[in-house]
Structure formats: C-alpha cells, structure tokens
Chains A and B, each alone.
Chain A
C-alpha cells in the first residue's frame, strides 16, 4: 500500500502540473466553444511569448536562489534605445544586437553588484529597476517612440509557415534554455549553486561567474522580449513592461521552481506561463470582468505552490 501511494505521488509530482493544465483546457473547451479554435490557440500562444521569454531568464535566476525585479525596466530601456537607433537609420540587425547588448550589460551590472559587492539580489535588482526605468523615461522625455521599419516589425508581426515569428522565437529560446540547463555543465553548475553555494565553491565551481551569468541571461532575454513587444505595437513606450517581473515570477512559481534554489526547471515554467495565459484568456472568453483576473492569478499562485509543497 505505501509503495502504491508513493507511486501515485511520484506520478502526480511529475505530471500533476501538465494534468492541471489539461483539466483547465478541458473545462474551458466545455464552457466556451471559442476556446479550442486554432485562432484562439495561436492568440493565447502569441500573448504568452513575452512573459514566456522573460520567465526563462527568471527561472535561471530563481534556480540560483536569486530574484530579478529589474526585468520589466530593462525591457523598457533596451526597447526605447533600440527604437531610437532604428529611427536614426541604424541597420536593423545592428540595432537588435545593440539592444540585446544593453539588456545583457544591465544584467551584468546586476550580477556584479550581487557577486562582488555582496548586495542581496532583491535590493540590487530593485535599485536597477528604479534606475533603468528612470533612464528609459529620461531618454525618451516620457514620450513613446512610434514608427519602426517594416523589416524590424517582422519579429513581432511576421508569420513563417503559418506560425507567428514571436512564437518561433520564444520556442527557440525555451529549447536553447532547456538544453543549456539540462544537458550542459553550465546547467549543472547553476543547479549546484542554487542547492548549496558553499559546497559549489568547494567543488571548484566559479560561483561568481555563473551567478553573474544568470543575471546577464535574464537581462538579454528581457531585451529580446522588449523588441518583440515594440515590433508588434510599432511603438516603444518608456513605461513598457511595468510589473512584468511579477508575471514572470508568478509563472516560475506556478511551474514548480523552488524559491530556495536548485530545484525546478524550464518545463514547469513553460506550463506555468501557459496556465496563466489560458486562465486570463478563459476569463475573457467567459466575459468575466477583467477586475477578477488578478484575484484569480493570485489564488492560482497560492494553490499551485501549496500543491507543489504537498507533493514534494
């Protein structure tokens, strides 16, 4: 009997998240005949690409027992700088590279403040959040930068083989992120740092370097998400990405990655992103007032975490 129940527990632990997602999708399919249409599915996926891409970086950060509150502000600053370069006539690939570089550079500063100056990640990235948002507002004078070249806008609005480009980019980011995390030494080092930084250091892992790396990754991915956002909207707002850090953290938590570090992964985060997106989509389809959306999201975060705890 105990063997039996622990077997069920094991199955639930491995597939519980997917199961919840499928049950949710099934319920919405029964409740609304517009849910399971290809147009709506593409719509949900497209809406979740930006949070999804940011959540990849956030997963890495949380796996090291860190946190990054600055992703939304980094998104905004790199987006307005990219938009400004594009309007100034900079070639599209170069503008994209510089924009990603800005995001990575801000992430590098986060990482260095955290590792070299020993500032807790919460405070370091809180400071960066304020700084990057202030710089984005200063840089634009608080006004949006509108009108971007068509070739750039492809990354937000283009379609290849029937699939929107943002979904392809997010999918690629997930696959690369998952391979890096599960199949390479870098991924093992990051998990080891999250499990026990002291032990990791004694094992010869360059803890500072890999901790810095996760913040660089989070910064660069935020910049990528920012580019997709402005390409879709044809406009870069200095207030873009406000509070996106909370959406990304929510997705990671629902996906079962532990705040204590070292446990979890991108598969869970992907399902977490989709659960939150599908829930919001479902509430829209069922004509529930948008005021209830934060309530539902909050309850889902709490319930998901309690279930993860119960099964662990």
Chain B
C-alpha cells in the first residue's frame, strides 16, 4: 500500500498525463480505418488549416480559464475586429496593414474593458464577458450596417490563404502564437503568477502577487487572440460578415476543456488546448469524410466532450 502511494501505477500515470493525446490518437485511428482519404497529407493540412483559427482563439481563452475565469465575448470580438480590419482597410482607405493593426488594437482594448469590469467592477467573468458578447456583436452590426464588407486586397487574403514553406499562413500563425504562449506560461514569472492566481487567488494575493494585474492581462491576451482570429477569418473568407463567428466561444472553450484545462483554474496548459482543438477539428473532418450528416456530428461532439471530461476526472481522482 505504501509503495502504491508513493509511486502510482505507471499505466494510470500515463493515462492521466496523456489522456487527451490518447483520445486524439484513438479518434484518428478510427477515421484512418474508416476512410482512406483521412491519412493523406493534403487532408491533414486541411484539418490544420480548419483548426488553426479556433485554436488561436482557444489559446487566449486558456489564459482566462487558467485564472478560473472565462471569456464568452471572443466570438463577438472576432466579428468586431474582423469588420474593423476590413472596414478600415477598404472603406476608410487606410490600407491593409493599418487596418489590421488598428483592429488588433481594438480587440485588445475590448479585452482590457472585460478585464477592468472583472477587476475593478468585481463582476463575475461569466457575466462581464456575456455583456461584452452582446455589446461587441451589436457594435459589429452597427459598424457594418448588417452587411458584409468585401474588397480586401491580396496581402490581406494572403494571411488566410497563402502558404509559407508549404504551411498555410493560419497554421504558421498558430505555431507562433502557441510558442509564445507556451513559453510565457512555462518559463516566465507572468506564467507562474497566472497559475498561482487560478490555483488560489487569495493565497496568491497574500504572497504579494498583483492578481488584479494578472487577471486584467489574461483578458487583454484573450481579446488580442480573438482579434487575430477574427482578422484571419476575414482573410480566409475574403470578406467580413457581421454575423461571423457566432457561437465560436463555445468551441474556443471546449478545446481547452477537452485538453485537460480545469475550469476551476490553475491546471492545464496550451499544448492541451491545441490538442483539444485538433480533436474537435478531426472529429468534423473525419465524420465528413465518412459521410456522417452534420446534424449527427453535433451529437457526437457533445458526447465526446462529456465523456472526455469524465475520463479526465476519473484518471485524476485515482492519482
């Protein structure tokens, strides 16, 4: 018994640590058998391309969840930033670079407002960002007058559809965002404070960590990644839609949750988030290839989400 306590069964340890990877591999194996087109290079690149944008947004979301927060406004912030980028670049004639730069700034500012409502207004993150979900969507509708904005130039389109060294641009940007986020979380004091704030905010504050600053910053980060996702979505689709990314917050939350990030804060990381996003992407892609109707796909996604969490909780409890 004593040895059991000091050294948990190696199989359970592996299951606990890598359960998301195992789920990913299991799902991929099923599809590889189910469809011969699944394991082709072009299809895998396609999955990466389709997953990249939601994964970028989910990485920002991960920071908020690590502090035991949540950001429901990311879908609306994506739409608002995308519309601003296209509108400023095309309608206001500022050009692609200034348009995108200002749009990223706007999304980041929306994140800062979220953070201030939570830190200074002492609002629960769920409610503050729910209010922002409504406000940012409304502002998008007002700004676009409910109509799409088209006419972006080829530099803008390149962001969504170009390739670098054979990799689609959104995938390249996902890699960049992932490396920065993973480094920040693992190797910087800021990352340590994020985990500490989520682990136990009261203790962290007593230990001298400015949890207010950390909380504010994670929403700023989430605002920025949402804005980047929104710009990429416009580039992918060649136009900004006022109702773009409705409901994307749920996928952006499901990805970290699938990847083992605890909604109670302090546990998990962005690698899990990216794996979680790919589980969702592979599910859609594989079920499409196997000819499963899109309606069933929703049912299967919901079941996978709940089962994955139950498995995660089960393996963690037995530690």
Residues of A within 8 A of B (CB): 67, 113, 117-120, 122-124, 126-131, 133-135, 137-138, 141-142, 243, 246, 249-250, 253, 259-260, 289, 291-299, 301-302, 305-306, 309
Contact: B126 with A291, CB < 8 Å? no
Contact: A67 with B137, CB < 8 Å? no
Tell me which residues across on chain A come within 8 A of B123, comparing CB atoms: 302, 305-306, 309
In the complex, which of the residues A124, A141, A246, A298 has the most CB atoms of chain B within 10 Å of its own CB atom?
A298
Tell me which residues across on chain A come within 8 A of B175, comparing CB atoms: none
In the complex, which of the residues B123, B138, B146, B310 has the most CB atoms of chain A within 10 Å of its own CB atom?
B138
Smallest CB-CB separation from B312: which chain A residue?
A: A119
Selected A-B contacts with CB under 8 Å, 17 pairs: A117-B310, A119-B306, A120-B264, A122-B253, A123-B306, A123-B309, A127-B306, A131-B298, A131-B299, A142-B295, A246-B134, A249-B130, A295-B139, A298-B130, A298-B132, A301-B134, A305-B127
Contact: A250 with B263, CB < 8 Å? no
The docked-state distance in angstroms from the alpha carbon of A248 to that of B138 is 18
B14 at the interface (CB under 8 A from A): no
B257 at the interface (CB under 8 A from A): yes
B301 at the interface (CB under 8 A from A): yes
Contact: B130 with A301, CB < 8 Å? yes
Smallest CB-CB separation from B117: which chain A residue?
A: A302
When the two chains form the complex, which single residue of B257, B298, B300, B305 contacts A137, counting CB atoms closer than 8 Å? Answer: B298
Tell me which residues across on chain A come within 8 A of B306, comparing CB atoms: 113, 119, 123-124, 127-128
Tell me which residues across on chain A come within 8 A of B12, comparing CB atoms: none
Contact: B122 with A291, CB < 8 Å? no
Contact: A306 with B299, CB < 8 Å? no
A-B contact count (CB 8 A): 133
Contact: B263 with A122, CB < 8 Å? yes
Tell me which residues across on chain B come within 8 A of A119, comparing CB atoms: 306, 309-310, 313
Contact: B142 with A130, CB < 8 Å? no
8 interchain residue pairs of minimum CB distance: A134-B298, A130-B302, A295-B138, A298-B134, A294-B138, A298-B135, A131-B302, A291-B141
Contact: B130 with A294, CB < 8 Å? no
Smallest CB-CB separation from B317: which chain A residue?
A: A118
Contact: B126 with A67, CB < 8 Å? yes
Tell me which residues across on chain A come within 8 A of B141, comparing CB atoms: 291, 294
Tell me which residues across on chain A come within 8 A of B254, comparing CB atoms: 126
Smallest CB-CB separation from B141: which chain A residue?
A: A291
Contact: B142 with A292, CB < 8 Å? yes
Contact: A120 with B142, CB < 8 Å? no
Contact: B309 with A138, CB < 8 Å? no
A119-B309, A123-B263 given; name 9 further pairs at CB < 8 Å: A120-B309, A130-B302, A131-B298, A134-B298, A137-B294, A260-B124, A292-B138, A294-B137, A298-B134
Main secondary structure of the interface of A (DSSP, over half): helix
Contact: B299 with A135, CB < 8 Å? yes
Contact: B297 with A134, CB < 8 Å? yes
B44 at the interface (CB under 8 A from A): no
> Nearest Cβ distance between residue B228 and chain A, in whole angstroms?
23
Contact: B264 with A301, CB < 8 Å? no
The docked-state distance in angstroms from the alpha carbon of A129 to that of B296 is 13
Tell me which residues across on chain A come within 8 A of B250, comparing CB atoms: 126, 129-130
The docked-state distance in angstroms from the alpha carbon of A129 to that of B253 is 14
When the two chains form the complex, which single residue of B124, B136, B296 contacts A138, counting CB atoms closer than 8 Å? Answer: B296
In the complex, which of the residues A119, A128, A289 has the most CB atoms of chain B within 10 Å of its own CB atom?
A119
Contact: A138 with B293, CB < 8 Å? yes
The docked-state distance in angstroms from the alpha carbon of A127 to that of B141 is 29
Contact: A302 with B121, CB < 8 Å? yes
Given the known inter-chain contacts A124-B306, A291-B142, please indicate yes or no for A309 contacting B134, CB distance below 8 A: no
B32 at the interface (CB under 8 A from A): no
When the two chains form the complex, which single residue of A134, A250, A289, A306 contacts B296, counting CB atoms closer than 8 Å? Answer: A134
Smallest CB-CB separation from B296: which chain A residue?
A: A138
Contact: B295 with A138, CB < 8 Å? yes
B22 at the interface (CB under 8 A from A): no
The docked-state distance in angstroms from the alpha carbon of A119 to that of B309 is 7
B303 at the interface (CB under 8 A from A): yes
Contact: A298 with B309, CB < 8 Å? no
Smallest CB-CB separation from B76: which chain A residue?
A: A294
> Nearest Cβ distance between residue A150 and chain B, in whole angstroms?
31
Tell me which residues across on chain B come within 8 A of A131, comparing CB atoms: 298-299, 302-303
Tell me which residues across on chain B come within 8 A of A134, comparing CB atoms: 295-302
Contact: B121 with A297, CB < 8 Å? no
Smallest CB-CB separation from B304: which chain A residue?
A: A127
Contact: B142 with A295, CB < 8 Å? yes
The docked-state distance in angstroms from the alpha carbon of A243 to that of B133 is 12
Given the known inter-chain contacts A123-B305, A130-B302, please indicate yes or no for A137 contacting B295, CB distance below 8 A: yes
Tell me which residues across on chain A come within 8 A of B298, comparing CB atoms: 130-131, 133-134, 137
Smallest CB-CB separation from A253: which chain B residue?
A: B127
